[in-house]
Amino acid sequence: PEYTIIYFNARGRCEAMRMLMADQGAQWKEEVVTSDDWQKGDLKKAAVYGQLPGFKDGDFTLYQSNAMLRLLARNHDLYGKNPREASLIDMVNDGVEDLRLKYLKMIYQNYENGKDDYVKALPTNLGHFERLLASNNEGKGFVVGAHISFADYNLVDLLHNHLVLAPDCLSGFPLLCAYVKRISSRPKLEAYLSSDAHKKRPINGNGKQ
Ligand code: GDS
C-alpha cells in the first residue's frame, strides 16, 4: 500500500481519508493502536502534538488529520482547479472542522446531558451547508466546483455521523439529503461503505454515537 493510517479503532478523524482513498482507488494499511499501546507512552512521545492519527505516505510521516486530507487532495487532484476554488474548498473544510469540534465535544464530554441541545441546534449548523451547496450548480453536484474535492469527503463523513446521531436531521435539507446519497453511491465509495472495514469500525473511540 502507498499509505498507512496509525490510529485508534475508530472512524473518528480518519474516516474522511479512508473514504477519499477508497473512492480514488488508493491502497492503504491500518496500524491500529490499542489503549494499552497508547498508555505505554512511546507513541504519544513520538507524535508531533502528542495525539493520533498519524499518517505515512511512503517514508513521509504527517500528523493532524486535516493536513493529511490536504496531502491526499494534492496527491489525487482533489483541491479545485485554481486558487479561488482551493480557497472555497478550504472555507468549506474549516466549517466542517468547526462542526466536528462541537460534535466531538458533545460525544466525549457531554453526551448524556448535551445531546438534546446539540440536536436542537443542528438546523442552524447544517443550514450553512445546505446554502453552500445551493450556491454551486444549484446543489446538484459537489460543494465547490465541478469535481469532487477533499471537503466533499469530509462533509459527507460528518453528515453520515449526524444521521446516526439524529436520523431525521436532514429532513429539512433536500439538497444535503440528495448530496449524501449521490456521493455515497459513487461505486468505489459505496463498496467501501458497505464493507466490514467501515461498518464494523465504531464511529467514536468511546462507543457513543
Ligand atoms: N487536531 C488533531 C487532528 O485533527 O488530528 C486532533 C487529534 C486528536 O484529538 N486525537 C485524539 C487523541 O490522540 C484521538 S481522536 N487522543 C489521545 C490523547 O490525547 O492522548 N479531540 C479533539 C479533536 O478531535 O479536536 C477529541 O475530542 C478526541 N477525544 C477525539 S478522538 C479521552 C476520552 O476517551 O474521553 N481519553 C480521549 C478523548 C479524546 O482524545
> pLDDT for 48-74, tens place per residue?
999 999 999 999 999 999 999 999 999
pLDDT score at 112 = 98
For residues 175 and 192, give the distance between their C-alpha atoms in angstroms, rounded to a whole number: 23
Residues contacting 178, CB < 8 A, separation 6+: 139
pTM above 0.90, yes or no: yes
Q: How far is the CA of 104 from the centre of ligand 1 (A)?
A: 9
User: How large is the ipTM?
Assistant: 0.88
Q: 95: closest CA among 133, 143, 128?
A: 128
With a 6 Å cutoff on the Cβ, whether 161 touches ligand 1 is no
Tell me: pLDDT of 14 over 80: yes
Specify the residue with its C-alpha closest to ligand 1, atom 26. 104
With a 6 Å cutoff on the Cβ, whether 104 touches ligand 1 is yes
Q: How far is the CA of 188 from the centre of ligand 1 (A)?
A: 29
Query: Distance between terminal CA atoms of the chain?
Result: 30
Residue 6's pLDDT band, with cuts at 50, 70 and 90, is very high
pLDDT score at 1 = 75
Pocket test for ligand 1, best of 51, 62, 158 (most atoms within 8 A of CB): 51
Tell me: pLDDT of 96 over 80: yes
For residues 101 and 87, give the distance between their C-alpha atoms in angstroms, rounded to a whole number: 21
